[in-house]
Amino acid sequence: MAPAPTASQHDAVAADRTDAGPNHTGPNGALFAVMAGHGAALLSSPFSPQTLVWDVRLAQMDERAEAVAYVTAVAQQRAMAEAYLRSLAAHPTPARTPAATAVVRAPAPVLRNPLASLRQCESGGNYGDNTGNGYYGAYQFNVGTWRALGFGGLPSQASPSEQDQAAQELQARRGWSQWPSCARRLGL
């Protein structure tokens, strides 16, 4: 047997009722009945008060879990930032004087084999490098450049000699600018 409706439920049911018929189904599927001049009473409902309470509690628990996850992520990022700042403080940079602000660059190292140095810089010399970033092989070719050079498949699946040949052709056509970071680092 369903528990008797409370006064607030009775008021809500009476407010929701749109007709005075003896059997009216309200917006929530609740069945209403008119009782001898005393207004409407809730006879049955798909949502018991206990179900509604549990729904609210579950929603609150979900919100708390999301808040805890967010706070945890913020705390982890803050800890990483503080660790980084501590590492900077542990290795202070020398104070700059006006005379020391001029940029003095050391001469670029003389490379016996610039492609070997480039290969080492780009992928650690790994011809099969495929990290999922859209660049493949020892020279980190993208697929479009690789195909424009006349090669098929993925660069990381090609033989070392094919990758070396492709790098030589690309360097001859477009220079070292195709590998900007490593070319600058190596002085190419």
Return the pLDDT at 56.
Answer: 82
Specify the pLDDT at position 53: 77
Over 60: is that where the pLDDT of 8 sits? no
pTM: 0.42
CA 58 from centre of chain: 26
- Please identify which residue in the block is written with the tokens 């209403």: 32
CATH 1.10.530.10 fits 114-186, yes or no: yes
92-112 confidence digits (pLDDT tens): 666 555 555 555 555 555 557
Say if residue 62's pLDDT is above 80.
yes
- 136 DSSP β-pair partners: 130, 141
Contact 122, 140 (CB under 8 A): yes
What is the C-alpha to C-alpha distance for residues 70 and 64, in angstroms, rounded to an integer? 10
Distance, C-alpha 37 to centroid of its chain? 61
Give the pLDDT confidence of 131-172 residue by residue, as tens digits: 889 899 999 999 999 999 999 999 999 999 999 999 999 999
Q: Is the pLDDT of residue 12 over 90?
A: no
Q: Taking a C-beta distance cutoff of 8 angstroms, is the pair 176, 183 a contact?
A: yes
Q: What is the pLDDT of residue 137?
A: 93
SS3 32: strand
State the residue for tokens 């929701």.
Answer: 16
What whole-number distance in Å separates Cα of residue 49 and Cα of residue 60? 17
163 Cβ neighbours under 8 A, 6+ residues apart? 127, 137, 138, 139, 141, 155
The type of residue at 137 is G
